[in-house]
Amino acid sequence: MATRSKSSQRWLKEHFSDPFVKKAKAEGLRSRAAYKLEELVERDRLLKPGMVVVDLGAAPGGWSQWIRQELDSLNAAKPGRIIALDILEMPGLAGVEFILGDFREDQVLTQLEQALAGQTVDLVLSDMAPNMSGVDAVDLPRAMHLSELAMDFADRHLRVDGTFLIKLFQGVGFDDYVRELRRRYAKVSIRKPAASRKRSPEVYALAQGKRATPT
> Is residue 127 part of an annotated ligand binding site?
yes
C-alpha to C-alpha distance for 205 and 164, rounded to whole angstroms: 8
CB atoms within 10 A of CB 115: 15
142 to 55, 93, 128, 134: CA distances (angstroms) = 19, 29, 11, 12
**Residue 66 marked in a binding site:** no
- State yes or no: 63 annotated in a binding site: yes
Question: Is 167 a residue of the active site?
Answer: yes
Q: Is 161 annotated as a binding residue?
A: no
139 is in an annotated binding site: no
Q: E strands along 57-143, which residues?
A: 81-86, 97-100, 121-126
Catalytic residue among 23, 25, 78, 167: 167
CB-CB contact of 123 with 162 (8 Å): yes
| DSSP for residue 103 | T
- Spatial CA neighbour of 204 closest among 38, 15, 60, 88: 38
User: Can you say which residues are annotated as belonging to the binding site for S-adenosyl-L-methionine?
Assistant: 61, 63, 86, 102, 127
Residue ranges for the known binding site are 61, 63, 86, 102, 127
Hey, which residues are catalytic here?
Answer: 167
